[in-house]
Amino acid sequence: MRTSPSIRLELLIAVTALCFTAAAVPHAASANPVLGFRGHFPGVSLDGWSGGSQISNPGTGGLGGSGDGYLLVAVPAPFAGNLGSFALTPDYAGNWTAAGITEVRLWLNDVNVDDDLELHLSIGNAATGNFWQSNTALIPPHDAWAPFTVPLNGANFTFTGGVPGTFAAALQNVDRILVRHDKSPYQRTPDTVVGDFGLDEILLTNGTLGVTPGGPAARAAPSSSLPPARIPPVAPCRFASPPRARCRSASRSWTRWAGSSVAHRRSRARPVT
């Protein structure tokens, strides 16, 4: 049986409207990330990272030293802005709980000028509004690479999205991760700053898979309600190529700092070597 031109036109209009409606509705992340995945910005690649800040890859100066790229995130003077970058790629999208990912490890560097930075990892689904930011500030050392670990524990995260949800639900439907500068209190819109930082070697792990045995590990300290106090990095490591750590002992300076600052400790992550 043949259909009339008017019926065919009505069907075409209906199908077109359905396509527009489907495109307008936020979709859940369909794929799952891979336990043990490592993002390391080869060459001058941005590896799928983007954001409102100026981002680039110098192609050298990363964790591996000369010829090793890294993600450079910057807000140049004179105007302060939101300093951060996010990855909206299949590598980070999906159900992190089903994948068995319980922590994120990453290397950070306060490149160029020594800036007053407090970096945080955010995770969730920004499209649906269920987004969370880690409470513990990651403070990179100046002009040196240092490792940090962010456990995916809901008690260490603050909701910064637009539509209320649970942290557990956010981990089951991730569409992106974000690394940005922000200071307490943590809200949807972060503090502005002029500065820059380097990001390299992002590892999605369960604390074992992909972690080099005997290698450096840095774990974020538990959150605290005590007044703010900046904990200085201990013995930051500088790397040559191939990367072999040459760490300076900081036991004396750390002892002097700890003795004078017991009353001002706060939740801050510091690199441990």
Task: Indicate the helix (H) or strand (E) that contains 157.
Answer: strand 157-159
Q: What is the pLDDT of residue 211?
A: 81
> How many CB atoms sit inside 10 A of residue 160's CB?
20
- Please say whether the beta carbons of 145 and 238 come within 8 A: yes
Confidence of residue 109 (pLDDT cuts 50, 70, 90): very high
pTM of the complete model:
0.70
Q: How far apart are CA 213 and CA 209, in angstroms?
A: 10
- Please say whether the beta carbons of 187 and 158 come within 8 A: no
> Which fold is adopted by the domain 31-269?
Jelly Rolls (2.60.120)
Q: What are the pLDDT digits (tens) for 170-214?
A: 999 999 999 999 999 999 999 999 999 999 999 999 999 888 654
Sequence ranges of the domains in the chain: 31-269
List the single range of 212-216, 229-233, 250-254 with lowest mean pLDDT: 250-254
What's 8's DSSP letter? H
Confidence of residue 166 (pLDDT cuts 50, 70, 90): very high
